[in-house]
Structure 1
Amino acid sequence: MVVKITDLRKEGRYLLPGSAACPGCGLAIAFKIASKVLGKNTIYFIPACCTSVIQAPYPKSAFNVPVYNVAFMAAAAAASGAVEGLKALGKKDVQVVVWAGDGGTVDIGIQALSGAFERNHDFIYICLHPDTEIVLGDGSVVKISEFVDNALLRGFKKKKEDVESVPVENDVLSWDGTKFLPKKAVYAQRKSAPREMIKITTSSGSSLILTKEHKVLIDGPIGPMWKQAKELKVGDRLYAPRRINVKSRNTPYILDLIFEVLGDRIGIQVPENIRSELKKRLRHKYGSLKEAANKLEIRPWRLIDRSRSILLSDLRKICGDTGYSWDEICKKARSMIIQGGRKLTLSNPTLNEDLCYLLGLLAAEGSFDAKSYRIAFVSKNKHLLNEFRNMHRTLFEGRAISVVATDGGATYYLISNPVIWALSEALGIKSDPKEILKLPNNLIARFIQGFFDGDGCVAITDHGHTKDVRIILSTANELMGKRLKIMLQRLGIASSMLRGERYDVIIYSNKDILNFLTRIRSRDPEKIAKFEIIERILKRQPRGRKFDLAPEVCANLLGEICSKYNVVPSRLDPNLMQIIKKKRRLTKHKCRELLKKLSINNNDPLLEKLKNLINDEFYLDEIKSIKTIETKVKYVYDITVKDTHVFVPEGAFVISNCYDNEAYMNTGIQKSGSTPFGAWTTTTPKGRIGMKKNMPFIVASHGAPYVATASIGYPLDLANKIEKAKRIEGPKYIHILSPCPPGWRFPMDKTIKVGKLAVDSYIWPLYEIENGRLRITMKPRRIPVEEYLKLQGRFRDLTSKEIEKIKQMVDEQWDILQKLESIGKVFP
């Protein structure tokens, strides 16, 4: 059915005379048109906004339809509940509408809106295999099943159908569009596993198992785009972190690290001044040391005899009971004795770089005996053996090294050192060194350096005209390989893990190799000499290779920059035209070289966008295989991340998780998430600096079956889009531009004209997105942007430079829409 102008004149008025709408109110006009099309069998949910004000003071109402006034954050959620209730009552002819302004849609209400569209009233969830690990905000890793299951046990869970959900308050690794950093997770979910899932493996060796509906961020022709796992193809390139930014712990004390392993077996020789203070506090609280020992279940002679050591576990118990600083103990108590052994003294109370290097060597070429606390280090490299011996002598006093030489040229060092043994256990350096991931970057770098010196190599392959350079860390332990890969990401180094008889973590890219040489280095003279050769090679052949590809849209942006500044591409670079036409792939290194040759405005938005896309925080990781596998687990899991709504499991790649009057008009014209660039509001008296949110695209990315933009300046276009939305199942979203005379500062008789000028100037393009395909519904004869701006007082203070920027943004927006229209399906 096509709505005609005569249909809008028919009887049936749902906004009655006597409303409190301002003269010329665009919102009232929009409501009259929409309510005519929707008819009487409609329930409206209206959050606090101008609409809730114009209906007249309670208990009277100018609305001749059922209206529920709700809070900002609850509109979409309340509507979802109404839909479910109507279904239960069997009422299929009632339409539920959320009529929300900026607060209920763009700002506070966006999460409920997001939830409503994600649910689609059928609760389709996107989930991960239970063995998938997530990276928490402190750098630690945990299986998502353990994370969610523990949260469900502890928290207040909700269940709908077969989905269990529970609030959480942990930071997890996410992606904000430019960097990988911790963001707050707010919910964790568990649901029954489907019969089949998708296993994705990339060129870097990363592998994830996802439900078919799970969305993954891939490189698209006009920038990053979301694709469901079932729609991915071999060759798609995913956004993967080169650098993982976390909130790492402070440098830990050694006594803290060994407490769980040796707490009740190792005695600490407490400095006399501290022992005296502890005794004083115990006597004051309990009357005598004997009574204190009895209450705390400590052997009394450990307190009374000053020559005796105090068990580490007892010492912490005393500190907790008396309020004495545990940190002070960790700093000052450095000598310790284990039963049957000699005294051992630490040179430093904290885990330092030398000790981490030593642990790295042992992770690569060491072994441990739990019964005797004996450590063995074996190597044929005399320099490493000397380095190990000298370092151990500096770090620990009271432990000699036994030397055993073999016929094969290898030398064994044997040491009985309970502290090193306990640190190896606590940090898992021979099994799963995930505790290393919580350490500061400088300590992680030294651990990798030790491992590399012990079990790494530099490979230089001569191909005649070029030389291929690789840095390789090799291990027989797959988990060690995965952890080394994430450790390198902590330092901004991308790598691949190849699986064979051993697991090789390989660094290919020039950028990453140079970063390794700078951040990690080596203490082995032979490797240092090879590093010098590598540096000379890479200076001669600096072109980027694997993991240096720029996103595909960068070629478009370079073309636009050349066009804007009248640059002939072939004069700038003989290959640039092929790059712009996408016959040749652009690398980030090449893009930076080209930008250096261009004389352009540093504040140009095109340049800013391009620089964000060629930063080294991420790389593009190509999909090598996609398999549909049978699910052999009971549950699958997911988490909801605040703000970004994405997270990065295993440090692998990024996966997902209104009418518009462009300000808060009912509370005094404050800036909202929908206020456009440069516009005056009472909270942005000099004009808004940032961009408004693209709500139609945000909603479309949730898989909504129908999304559209409309303006009261073209009432039939608006009416027909509402009519179309009525006949489509599932949640629909129509974004209506409703000019506001007092807020936008124009004469009250110009409301329709302003709405029309917005469309004619291409500032407010009209389009619809149906089942993921975008179609521009109106292409009017274009008028200058100034025609739209000059009629409104809110843009009165714009400078010529700011007007030019608005023109540029309008051009970019229209170009993007045309490209999206030509592609076909671009949204899930």
Structure 2
Amino acid sequence: MAAAAAASGAVEGLKALGKKDVQVVVWAGDGGTVDIGIQALSGAFERNQDFIYVCLHPDTEIVLGDGSIIKIGDFVDEALQKGPTSIKSGIESVPVEVYILSWDGNRFLSKRVIYAQRKAAPKEMIKVITSSGSAITLTKEHKVLIDSPEGPIWKKAEELKSGDMVFAPRKINVATNEPPYILDLILEALGEKVGIQVPVGLKKELKDRLMNEFGTLKEAAAKLKIKLWQLTERSRPITLADLKKICDSTGYSWAEVCEKVDTILVKGGSKLTLAKPTLNEDLCYLLGLLAAEGSFDKKSYRVTFVSKEQVLLDEFRRIYEEAFRGRDILVVASDGGVTYYTVSNPILWALSKALGIKSDPKRVLKLPDDLLASFIQGFFDGDGCAAVSDRGYKKEVRIILSTTNKLIGKRLKMMLQRLGIASSMLHERRYNVIVYSNEDVLNFIARVGTRNPNKMARFEEIGRILERKSRDRKFDLAPAVCARILGELCSKYNVTPSVVDKNLAQIIKGSRKMTKRKCHEILSKLPINEEDPLVKKLKAFISDEFYLDEIKIVKKVKANVKHVYDVTVEDTHVFVPEGAFVISNCYDNEAYMNTGIQKSGSTPFGAWTTTTPKGRIGMKKNMPFIVASHGAPYVATASIGYPLDLANKIEKAKGIEGPKYIHILAPCPPGWRFPMDKTIKIGKLAVDTYIWPLYEIEDGKLRLTMKPKRVPVEEYLRLQGRFRNLSSEDIERIKQMVDEQWEILLRLEAVGKIFPWA
């Protein structure tokens, strides 16, 4: 059905029901607008029909570029408080500049967020739960990237169903820094409670800086609100918080101070000497042990580690005594085979608190890979196991990390993703984070490992099992489109599928599923050109960047919140909340993209389609002028490459009575033959080369809304495979047409009202 006809019926039906101020927003492609739908569109304008042609729950967490985790509601609310804020159609928006986990069509990486939005929450939302245990609550319209035989497609949350496969990151790539300084980590909890024995030379440098800045030490102490005797008495310590104030006020390097200081005075005057200024692998392993089998007492700064395994107790003692000189293990008590190691150590207590190891260890996610792996190793040795199940005809292996805390389980799952290890979280009596896939199990053994001899022996057994076992399981499934690509490659290189693999014919027909490993194996047997775009495309689909996670539950839930939230991600316009799966945030395709990429009335000169293999000969229809000639009060062109221009035009159209038309250029990666991550770039180049001018016709007057610095037409054409067969003469003709079109628009803009009946 033509889109305009459907819109007309909707408008009339709503008005018949007594609805007032009816506005219908219509999305339509080439068929519903340019070809089949043009008569309905014409009729709708003649009847003066009023339409415009054209989020997440606050507790949902987002992963920032540095590994930080924050609830989207808190992030957006804070940004809106700082401003500047704009409000359009009930949506509050504010510019921001942070980086967030996104997907560019090939890999997961950090991308810049440019806007944050908030709007009133609907009554109902959609909760999606996957087989890995990921759970996201979205508005009904929010789109999720799912697998299909045609390739990845976007599907509204309300249209999702059990069995749909979403794209989930196997690895969360973040920009990690150097190992954090211990003084930095304990500053918040112990800043006023511990003294730092500052080396004499360093203390003199700091005093000289203070006198240069404030004139006298007395004046410096008064301004900074610190005790003067800390500065004047040579042997007196300076509190950690005051030492940080001095560095901040004088510009002295805090990192240099952290490197030079090693002696800390704690309550009662006892000293504690740090072996190293930063977290290291041993200390992170010890913290992992405590996260699994430790307890903490805030009043006494008492830390207790419990274990039945002497090897872990010995490792705990070794690391502790090396890291904290001057603080021995005070109590060793044994009861029923369980041994308790208790220490009174405010530094270890504060480190554990800063990293949230017993509540929410999200700061651990920001650690460098080696430290993160050591933390997981400690947790695994303390409360994990490597399981081998003998089912007679096969043996199954699993790695299990176990906890009673749901949030800690969720964080462990994300920590494994940092290392490129996919896992599921299941809840029975405890929350078990389980690594299933053979490749992921081997990756865990290599990247995380163990210090427990018994678990080392089990890892060796698993290695032997997996050497003999080629069958992969959960999270190794190849996207459905891989079967079609293999079929195309067989046809292209004249290969009989059954000669390559006995199951390949069934795989190509879609009657048999295929793992990524199997796809790699088949691809290695084909006589192909490695530079073939089809081959590169297939390899991208079977990379280890992502895995397919099956949706288990889709249900409507009450929102029970005041607002819902979203962010706008530069270039990709997608992000990965909670590291779970890919969702979208944000249409002239110049062909019928959803039915086989055939020529439409909107296909430009020279472009390849399946029905114009040598390139289209004729010109595309000038739809904006066709619609404007019908007397439309508002007509505009837009491109997804310039989303703010598009948003402004939609907002303007909503305030104008009568039928409005906005012609949006939406580059199509498969139809135009370019990588998905170039979508926004091509949308911008279309405008910057003047191939797709941005203008509006309001009340019959044309106005160019953007006159960018011009870019050569060739830059737009060369990125698209559909223009690959253009001759130099064809390119010159296109450039001439672009010049003529721009000149005509400039002249029409100068004329004034060009459609007097509008």
TM-score using structure 2 length: 0.75
**2:295 is paired with a residue of what secondary structure?**
strand
1:346 equivalent to 2:291? Answer no
1:134 equivalent to 2:27? Answer no
Quote the residue 1:559 is aligned against. Answer: 487
1:327 to 255, 279, 282: 255
Quote the residue 2:469 is aligned against. Answer: 541
Could you tell me whether the CA contact under 8 Å between 1:708 and 1:721 is conserved in 2? no
Tell me the alpha carbon deviations over residues 733-776 of structure 1, each in whole angstroms, 9 at most, x when there is no partner.
58999xxxxx99xxxxxxxxxxxxxxxxx9979xxxxxxxxxxx
1:721 deviates by 11
1:325 deviates by 1.8
1:112-131 pair list within 5 angstroms: 120=54, 127-131=55-59
1:475 to 392, 397, 403: 403
The one-letter amino acid of 1:218's match is I
1:211 equivalent to 2:111? Answer no
Quote the residue 1:281 is aligned against. Answer: 209
Quote the residue 2:701 is aligned against. Answer: none
**1:615 is paired with a residue of what secondary structure?**
coil
1:361 to 268, 273, 289: 289
1:433 to 354, 358, 361: 361
Evaluate the alpha carbon distance shift between residue 315 and residue 698 of structure 1 in structure 2; reply closer, same or farther with a 3 A threshold. Answer: farther
CA distance in 2, matches of 1:407, 1:372: 23
CA distance in 1, matches of 2:97, 2:591: 25
Quote the residue 2:304 is aligned against. Answer: 376
1:642 equivalent to 2:588? Answer no
CA distance in 1, matches of 2:120, 2:604: 44
1:510 equivalent to 2:438? Answer yes
The one-letter amino acid of 1:500's match is E
**1:709 is paired with a residue of what secondary structure?**
coil
Q: Percent identity?
A: 58
Quote the residue 2:603 is aligned against. Answer: 710
1:137-148 pair list within 5 angstroms: 137-148=65-76
Could you tell me whether the CA contact under 8 Å between 1:497 and 1:503 is conserved in 2? yes
Quote the residue 1:108 is aligned against. Answer: none
Quote the residue 1:597 is aligned against. Answer: 525
1:321 deviates by 2.4
CA distance in 2, matches of 1:437, 1:700: 41
Tell me the alpha carbon deviations over residues 58-111 of structure 1, each in whole angstroms, 9 at most, x when there is no partner.
xxxxxxxxxxxxxxxxxxxxxxxxxxxxxxxx9985999xxxxxxxxxxxxxxx
Evaluate the alpha carbon distance shift between residue 708 and residue 634 of structure 1 in structure 2; reply closer, same or farther with a 3 A threshold. Answer: farther
**1:200 is paired with a residue of what secondary structure?**
strand
Evaluate the alpha carbon distance shift between residue 176 and residue 735 of structure 1 in structure 2; reply closer, same or farther with a 3 A threshold. Answer: closer
Tell me the alpha carbon deviations over residues 257-311 of structure 1, each in whole angstroms, 9 at most, x when there is no partner.
1111111111000111101222233344445434432332222222222222110
CA distance in 1, matches of 2:122, 2:159: 17
CA distance in 1, matches of 2:160, 2:62: 22
Please identify, of 635-644 and 305-314, the stretch whose mean Cα deviation from structure 2 is larger.
Answer: 305-314
Could you tell me whether the CA contact under 8 Å between 1:543 and 1:590 is conserved in 2? no
Quote the residue 2:351 is aligned against. Answer: 423
2:149 to 221, 233, 253: 221
CA distance in 2, matches of 1:556, 1:388: 54
Evaluate the alpha carbon distance shift between residue 267 and residue 552 of structure 1 in structure 2; reply closer, same or farther with a 3 A threshold. Answer: same
Could you tell me whether the CA contact under 8 Å between 2:591 and 2:603 is conserved in 1? no
CA distance in 1, matches of 2:390, 2:355: 40
1:233 deviates by 1.1
Runs (5+) with no aligned partner, structure 1: 3-33, 43-89, 97-115, 121-126, 658-693, 702-706, 738-742, 745-761, 766-784, 796-828
1:190 deviates by 0.7
Could you tell me whether the CA contact under 8 Å between 2:483 and 2:510 is conserved in 1? yes
**1:190 is paired with a residue of what secondary structure?**
strand
Tell me the alpha carbon deviations over residues 625-677 of structure 1, each in whole angstroms, 9 at most, x when there is no partner.
111111211111111111000000000000001xxxxxxxxxxxxxxxxxxxx
Quote the residue 1:492 is aligned against. Answer: 420
Could you tell me whether the CA contact under 8 Å between 1:457 and 1:471 is conserved in 2? yes
The one-letter amino acid of 2:346's match is P
1:342 deviates by 1.5
CA distance in 1, matches of 2:172, 2:617: 48
1:175 deviates by 0.3
Could you tell me whether the CA contact under 8 Å between 2:516 and 2:542 is conserved in 1? yes
**1:601 is paired with a residue of what secondary structure?**
coil
Quote the residue 2:186 is aligned against. Answer: 258
1:483 deviates by 0.7
CA distance in 2, matches of 1:209, 1:427: 27
CA distance in 1, matches of 2:38, 2:458: 75
CA distance in 1, matches of 2:592, 2:240: 57
CA distance in 1, matches of 2:461, 2:270: 47
Evaluate the alpha carbon distance shift between residue 185 and residue 564 of structure 1 in structure 2; reply closer, same or farther with a 3 A threshold. Answer: same
Runs (5+) with no aligned partner, structure 2: 3-33, 595-599, 606-615, 633-658, 673-689, 692-719, 734-758
Could you tell me whether the CA contact under 8 Å between 1:455 and 1:475 is conserved in 2? yes
Tell me the alpha carbon deviations over residues 668-724 of structure 1, each in whole angstroms, 9 at most, x when there is no partner.
xxxxxxxxxxxxxxxxxxxxxxxxxx96189989xxxxx962357777984899879
CA distance in 2, matches of 1:573, 1:614: 18
CA distance in 1, matches of 2:129, 2:543: 24
Alignment: residue pair count: 606
CA distance in 2, matches of 1:544, 1:143: 35
CA distance in 1, matches of 2:246, 2:666: 65
Quote the residue 2:448 is aligned against. Answer: 520
Could you tell me whether the CA contact under 8 Å between 1:399 and 1:417 is conserved in 2? yes
1:664-683 pair list within 5 angstroms: none
Evaluate the alpha carbon distance shift between residue 421 and residue 734 of structure 1 in structure 2; reply closer, same or farther with a 3 A threshold. Answer: closer
CA distance in 1, matches of 2:175, 2:302: 34
Could you tell me whether the CA contact under 8 Å between 2:590 and 2:604 is conserved in 1? no
Evaluate the alpha carbon distance shift between residue 408 and residue 91 of structure 1 in structure 2; reply closer, same or farther with a 3 A threshold. Answer: farther
CA distance in 1, matches of 2:520, 2:603: 40
1:511 deviates by 1.0
**1:223 is paired with a residue of what secondary structure?**
coil
CA distance in 2, matches of 1:591, 1:403: 58
1:414 equivalent to 2:307? Answer no
Quote the residue 1:46 is aligned against. Answer: none
1:459 equivalent to 2:387? Answer yes
1:177 to 105, 109, 113: 105
CA distance in 2, matches of 1:177, 1:570: 31
1:197 equivalent to 2:90? Answer no
1:353 deviates by 1.0
CA distance in 2, matches of 1:735, 1:652: 27
1:444-455 pair list within 5 angstroms: 444-455=372-383
**1:444 is paired with a residue of what secondary structure?**
helix
CA distance in 2, matches of 1:305, 1:605: 73
1:158 equivalent to 2:86? Answer yes
**1:406 is paired with a residue of what secondary structure?**
strand
Evaluate the alpha carbon distance shift between residue 565 and residue 722 of structure 1 in structure 2; reply closer, same or farther with a 3 A threshold. Answer: farther
Question: RMSD in angstroms over aligned alpha carbons?
Answer: 3.5
Evaluate the alpha carbon distance shift between residue 263 and residue 91 of structure 1 in structure 2; reply closer, same or farther with a 3 A threshold. Answer: farther
CA distance in 2, matches of 1:635, 1:418: 41
**2:494 is paired with a residue of what secondary structure?**
coil
Evaluate the alpha carbon distance shift between residue 284 and residue 568 of structure 1 in structure 2; reply closer, same or farther with a 3 A threshold. Answer: closer
CA distance in 2, matches of 1:38, 1:594: 47
1:337 equivalent to 2:245? Answer no
CA distance in 2, matches of 1:331, 1:315: 14
1:630 equivalent to 2:558? Answer yes
Evaluate the alpha carbon distance shift between residue 320 and residue 722 of structure 1 in structure 2; reply closer, same or farther with a 3 A threshold. Answer: closer
CA distance in 1, matches of 2:115, 2:511: 45
CA distance in 1, matches of 2:575, 2:623: 39
